Amino acid sequence: MFNSPVQLLTVERHQDGRGWFAETYNRDRFAVLGIECGFVQDNHSLSKLPFTVRGLHFQAPPHAQDKLVRCVKGRIFDVAVDVRAGSPTYGGWVGAELTQENGHQLFIPVGFAHAFMTLEPDCEVVYKCSDTYAPQADGGIFWNDPAIGIEWPLKPEAEVHLSDKDQRQPLLAEFKSPFPYDGRPLSNL
């Protein structure tokens, strides 16, 4: 079994003169990696402007969500933050660039807040969730909390675009985690 709770997955593309084909999810192959959740909802977003941030989001139990994220158009910087109570890596983060060219996916398990930043215009992101949207369980952390210290790939002159909700998210210090630590510390991707 794979030990890292957050995993960067490389998708094999089979190419020919027509283009390429890729299998982005296979329950049996994912189980070998320790990813045994059942996905029940797919989401697809379009962000028109570069440096749009969506997150840091999560759903609390009993509607907590595992997520499998990929960028199908453009480029994003995708981030997971450990918010599991008692974790030795609590508040730690990992991030990866997901692009339509590289086809990488990021698996983000329950107990991690998720966000992404678009790096160019007109980015489309698709992700699978292991539970359906439940507004009463919706939660988040401020995207640029200095206590977390995410190294966002921002240009000095960049204007960040946030939803009203994401501008008002609490800091990590103000958050009481409903997620228990499962014994697997966050490790580098």
Alpha carbon separation from 188 to 2, 3, 150 (Å, rounded): 13, 11, 14
Task: From the candidates 57, 90, 104, 114, give the one annotated as an active-site residue.
Answer: 57
Cα(186)–Cα(112) distance, rounded to whole angstroms? 10
CA 129 to chain CA centroid, nearest Å = 11
Nearest to 111 by CA among 59, 53, 37: 59
Concatenate the DSSP letters of all residues of 75-135 into one string: EEEEEEEE-EET-TTTT-EEEEEEETTT--EEEE-TTEEEEEEESSSSEEEEEEESS---G
Nearest to 94 by CA among 109, 81, 85: 81
The CA angle 132-137-138, to the nearest 5 degrees, is 90
CA 10 to chain CA centroid, nearest Å = 15
Task: From the candidates 14, 127, 161, 181, give the one annotated as an active-site residue.
Answer: 127
> Among this protein's residues, is 57 annotated catalytic?
yes
Active site positions, annotated: 57, 127
